[in-house]
Amino acid sequence: MSAHLCRLVRKRYHITQVTLAKILHVTSQAVYYWEAGRTRIPFLATVVLRQLARLSCQRSRRARGAAALALGRRRKTTQMLETLFAKTRGKS
């Protein structure tokens, strides 16, 4: 796992280096070094970070799907209202 991806995962969850360090049971200095690319990320920390990244991707996919579904509903509702409005204007 790259230093860049470690930082992205941390930023995605809006947590500080200190908080991530507590989660992974390491020092905040270690997290700083990982993100700076000065040291390699240990295997167990990599596993946890990848799981967090995977959850983050699944969450954003679900959010995009829900937004698309809501947009589709809005479009159908708008079309229905426009059709109804056109019919009522035609009768007047």
pLDDT at 14 over 60: yes
> Tell me, what's the pLDDT at 8?
85
Q: Report the distance separating Cα 9 and Cα 19, nearest Å.
A: 13
- What are the sequence ranges of the domains in the chain? 3-91
pLDDT in tens, 25-72: 899 999 999 999 999 999 888 888 888 888 766 655 665 565 555 666
> Tell me, what's the pLDDT at 31?
93
Element holding 31 (H helix, E strand): helix 28-36
Instruction: Tell whether pTM > 0.85.
Output: no
> Tell me, what's the pLDDT at 10?
85
> Tell me, what's the pLDDT at 39?
93
